[in-house]
Amino acid sequence: MKTLKNHKFVLAMQAMMLMAMVQGSVAQEDDKAYLQTANAIIDEALQRGKAYEMLRELSFEVGPRLSGSPQAAAAVEWGRETMIEHGLENVHLQEVMVPHWERGPIERAAVVNSSFVGTHELTVCALGGSIATPTLGVTAEVLEVQTMDELHQKASEAAGKIIFFNRPMDATKRNTFAAYGGAVNQRGSGAAEAAKVGAVAALVRSMTTALDDVPHTGGMHYEEGVPKIPSAAISTLDANFLSDLLKKGAPVSVNLQLSSRTLPDTPSANVVGEITGSELPDEVVLLGGHLDSWDKGHGAHDDGSGCVQSIEALRLLKALNLRPRRTIRAVLFMNEENGLRGGKGYAEHVEKNGPKHIVAIESDRGGFAPRGITVQAENQIVAKVARWSYLLEQIGADRIERGGGGADISPLVPQGTVTMGLMVESHRYFDYHHSANDTFDKVNERELTLGAATMAIIAYVLANEGL
């Protein structure tokens, strides 16, 4: 009896081992097939890639595309036509209302009273959402602060002044996005905080680690019940100049002139196209970027790159006749920069009408060389995605780490969608970000193209295998 039991046990073990071997070899076969597919995607991207040409069109034929502007409307039409041209399926627009802020023709600032430099022009630009100054501008003495705490400590000196927020992005941080995150509250809420202590305007050091004469715009917001005061970004070179001048001890007054205005909300749209899944068409893996940009430069890195990569990823799969089990959808979101209306509207629409989005992957860190994928989820999910990192090893994009997804896809998180972001080499991103330097020529074709291939590979395997 004992022997028989042992014998049965051995047989059962042998059967289990055999099954494991069969499963293992199936997995190996799958791995080989996926590796071949990944190779084919990379070859197609490098040999016949269209992302760079799409970005050229978007940069030069459409141009900068601030929400609500005629160029943003042209960008929506460009996105729709480009998706159709490249064979995407179910191409459609999803309408959203967006804010409509205009910079206006006048934005200038000058030191007007210095005994050291006399009158001296400063390079500035209005922050997105700022009100205008009176026609002749606001003229007031400048008070420099590094932090909100310092502003509150100096509250008694702030009335009637222009508050100069001059805390640099911390270049000692390893991650440039962390450096940005550590400085950007000056831009977003500087004006409101300054107004609370009686200031008449805010000047904010540009959010960049570059030292140059180019101001970087970006969103700012007012607070209900707090006076609205004009707010502008100043170039890093002029921020240093102004700070040095203040250190000499004599009062420094600046005249600031802005002609920006906010118009009524405007109808606009997200642009959607897909490859319908062969077995589970009602489960979606989303690829996206945002179609709107600031009005300086071309918005080539931010985020023309993410848009063309999302379309190109689907084109690559189409070109290779790869139809995944689940649907892969490209979405060009409208209004990330100053309202996130596209991302919010999209998530609301999906919540009401479906289909279920299992994964959303955004590219919004610039069109630089891909390094991997950040996954905004538990380690267990990160490990499941990391299972596929070998497919991206050969192009150096195999880092799968816990990290942010993206602003436009973040409203999908409460529905259980796992969000991910294309991780890129981003040391230079903030040199260009939100400035006149964010032009087509700053994007490298190979880097942009390999980013699209990375998105195609990871989307394809997740659309087939799930999470």
CB of 96 to Zn ion, least distance (A): 17
- Give, in order, the Cα–Cα distances in Å from 64 to each of 16, 17, 57, 61, 334: 61, 61, 12, 10, 13
CB of 288 to Zn ion, least distance (A): 11
Sites for Zn ion among residues 300-319 (CB under 5 A): 302-303
CB of 216 to Zn ion, least distance (A): 13
| Beta-bridge partner residues of 459 | none
Q: Which is nearer to Zn ion, 422 or 459 (CB)?
A: 422
Tokens standing for residue 391: 């497919």
CB of 178 to Zn ion, least distance (A): 17
Count residues contacting Zn ion (CB under 5 A)? 3
Q: Which is nearer to Zn ion, 388 or 440 (CB)?
A: 440
Residues 459, 385 contacting (CB under 8 angstroms): no
Give the x-and-dash track for 361-390 against Zn ion (CB under 5 A): ---x--------------------------
What is the rounded CA–CA span in Å between residue 107 and residue 110? Answer: 11
Q: Which is nearer to Zn ion, 294 or 388 (CB)?
A: 294
Q: Which is nearer to Zn ion, 137 or 289 (CB)?
A: 289
Q: Which is nearer to Zn ion, 144 or 302 (CB)?
A: 302
- Residue 121 catalytic? no
Strand 162-165 to 107-114 pairing = unpaired
CB of 364 to Zn ion, least distance (A): 4
Q: Residues 6 or more apart from 20 whose CB is under 8 A from it?
A: none
Q: Which is nearer to Zn ion, 388 or 430 (CB)?
A: 430
Give the x-and-dash track for 79-118 against Zn ion (CB under 5 A): ----------------------------------------
Tokens standing for residue 198: 């009686």
Count the residues in the chain: 467
CB of 336 to Zn ion, least distance (A): 6
Strand 253-258 to 138-145 pairing = antiparallel
Task: Please tell me which residue in 336, 348, 445, 447 is annotated as part of the active site.
Answer: 336
Sites for Zn ion among residues 232-271 (CB under 5 A): none
Is residue 283 a contact residue for Zn ion (CB under 5 A)? no
What are the residues binding Zn ion (CB under 5 A)?
302-303, 364
Residues designated as active site: 336
